[in-house]
Structure 1
Amino acid sequence: MASAPEAAAPARWLKVLAFGAIYIIWGSTYLAIFIAIETLPPFLMAGLRFLLAGVALYAFARLSGTPAPKIIHWKSTALIGALLLLIGNGAVVWAEQRVATGIAALLVTTVPLWVVLLQWWGPAHKKPTLGVVLGLAIGLAGMVVLVSPWEISGGIDLWGGGAIFLAAGAWAMGSLYSASAQLPASPILTTGMQMLCGGALLLLTGTLTGEWQTTNWSEVSERSWWAFGYLVVFGSLVAFTAYSWLTRVAPPAQVSTYAYVNPVIAVLLGWGFAKEEITSQTLIAAALLVTAVALITLKAKR
């Protein structure tokens, strides 16, 4: 008779599918965003995406018997939603009007660098290990190579690149805050609330910037609507569910590998489907940034 731990162990094929989901689906969302905002306004598109996904997750959690959240939970998730989705995701969506999808994905890999700096310079004064410092140095070198003025071919829009870099900082800040914030016990309910709050803020931003008036909705392409649906169903629901499950059945170091697989997937998809050029400079920057994230992930203190 199998022991309890063995009986509870997940099937290997399930873990393979889940890792495939967070590797490929999350890596492909950069291309999907690019296609969606070809004819859809960026902030309204992102807002509707997260509102729809948030409603689905919130309803699922409540119908499954999860207790209703408290006011303090809504306050916490509203702040997290503002940092992660309004700034963290909204700035990336806006910037993809000016920056190639592969470049956007590479710039997003600076999130771990931001986490190290925020923990080091923040109230906790958490000094990084030597391995993490090395990873930080390599990551900064990768940033210099990626956005330097002496690029080999083409150019990187500094406004777009700067927006994504700051978005990565907001994502890191929101992630750190969520570790100590008062949140519901259910991660599904928590994420649904974050998406509802972040989606509402993105819709408000789109409204204030006049996107309702400047968008000709009758001219939105079928291609953009399909990309939008992909982002809602696969990017926000399927991949998130897989990620949540993996955090419970796989070691954190394994789960976090998505951070340096996603940009590789994004660069390849941008090259294959959006005709984005892969220069030697991009490859060098990608190698440096992926190495930096790997070092920071593996060498960080628990």
Structure 2
Amino acid sequence: MALETFSPTTLVCFRYLTSGLFMLIVARIAGWHIPRGRELWLTAFFGVVTLGIGNGCLAFAEQWVPSGLAALFVTTSPFWLVGTEALAPRGEPLHAPTIKGMLVGVAGVAFLVAPAAVDFRANPLVLGAFLLLQFGCAGWAVGSIAQRKTSSRAHPFVSGAVQQLATGIVYSVPAAIRHDPIHWSPRGIGAIIYLMIFGSIVGYSAYVFAMDRLPVAVASIYTYVNPIVAVILGWLLYNEPFGVREAIAMVIIFAGVAMVKKASSAPVPVEKLGADRAAESGQYGE
């Protein structure tokens, strides 16, 4: 719905500039540590990789496919996260149950995109959107795991603010060059406000905190909720198709995610979660 008002580049730019700036102001008032120097640059870079590639690809892909279908495509995100964690230094290795769950999830995605794969010429945009979204999921996973493995004094809320502001600044360049027209509409304005409050300020902050404190498989629980919300809203507001194939694919993909989460439920040893963390009450002060 937000794409009714903004182009993809303008949407990402406006959304993250606004939410990131607001969150930094809140963090400053709260007296939390604001990253500086190398810590600031690393946090900003991880944000651009995570949000700039991840949500940037999603914004562009939703020009080609319905939001519900795009949401189903990105349910592969937990597999990218768990796989990236396994490949990272001191990461949790992949075990047989985890691999089985990942294969089930891949089977669900294959079932979902099978019609487009069989008739590529008739559905080039669908397959293009799928590949673009998988690239976005990979970027999201790499940025998230890299941030998780990097020691930081910043509160997760502050880290999220820096990441969002950096992403907005990066996207301001193509947004300014393209200078796409803005088509204001009540529904579009409502959608962007919803994305900034619940998607950026609340949702992403919670995700950064979860990635900082919980096993990767547990932190990826957001993928259970987002596709369902997107599918329901797309069906209710846009009459987007949601048939038997999509329903079966969703069940298969979620079954795979559940298997991966169950196999990866043990806490993951992460250096940044070690004993060098100060007491929660005072660790984020200046």
- What is the TM-score of this pair, normalised by structure 1? 0.77
1:298 maps to what in 2? 262
Shift of 1:227: 1.4
Shift of 1:51: 0.9
2:144 to 166, 175, 179: 175
Say whether 1:188 aligns with 2:154.
Answer: no
- CA distance 1:139–1:59, shift in 2 (3 Å): same
- Please tell me whether the aligned partners of residues 160 and 204 of structure 2 are also in contact (alpha carbons under 8 angstroms): no
1:204 maps to what in 2? 173
Aligned residues: 263
- CA distance 1:249–1:57, shift in 2 (3 Å): same
- Please tell me whether the aligned partners of residues 14 and 168 of structure 2 are also in contact (alpha carbons under 8 angstroms): yes
What is the one-letter code of the residue matched to 1:166?
F
| Partner SS for 1:105 | helix
- Please tell me whether the aligned partners of residues 72 and 182 of structure 1 are also in contact (alpha carbons under 8 angstroms): no
1:139 maps to what in 2? 105
For 1:245 and 1:73, how far apart are their aligned partners in 2? 17
2:132 maps to what in 1? 163
Say whether 1:61 aligns with 2:27.
Answer: yes
Shift of 1:127: 3.1
Shift of 1:76: 1.0
For 1:109 and 1:73, how far apart are their aligned partners in 2? 31
1:277 to 217, 227, 241: 241
Name which of structure 1's ranges 292-301 and 192-201 shifts more when overlaid on structure 2.
292-301
For 2:202 and 2:34, how far apart are their aligned partners in 1? 24
| Partner SS for 2:93 | coil
**1:83-134 alpha-carbon deviations (Å, 9 max, x no partner):** 1111100110111011111111111111111123324445557531221111
1:42 maps to what in 2? 8
* Structure 2: gaps spanning 5 or more residues: 268-286
For 2:12 and 2:191, how far apart are their aligned partners in 1? 12
1:232 maps to what in 2? 196
For 1:252 and 1:238, how far apart are their aligned partners in 2? 19
| Partner SS for 2:149 | coil
Instruction: Report 1:118-137 matches (<5 A).
Output: 118-121=84-87, 126-137=92-103
User: What is the root-mean-square deviation in Å for CA atoms of aligned residues?
Assistant: 2.9
* Structure 1: gaps spanning 5 or more residues: 1-34
What is the one-letter code of the residue matched to 1:133?
I
For 1:110 and 1:122, how far apart are their aligned partners in 2? 19
- What is the TM-score of this pair, normalised by structure 2? 0.81
For 1:199 and 1:176, how far apart are their aligned partners in 2? 21
- CA distance 1:239–1:66, shift in 2 (3 Å): same
Instruction: Report 1:112-123 matches (<5 A).
Output: 112-121=78-87
For 1:66 and 1:271, how far apart are their aligned partners in 2? 42
What is the one-letter code of the residue matched to 1:71?
G
- Please tell me whether the aligned partners of residues 156 and 212 of structure 2 are also in contact (alpha carbons under 8 angstroms): no
What is the one-letter code of the residue matched to 1:236?
S
- Please tell me whether the aligned partners of residues 260 and 294 of structure 1 are also in contact (alpha carbons under 8 angstroms): no
Name which of structure 1's ranges 85-94 and 236-245 shifts more when overlaid on structure 2.
236-245
1:16 maps to what in 2? none
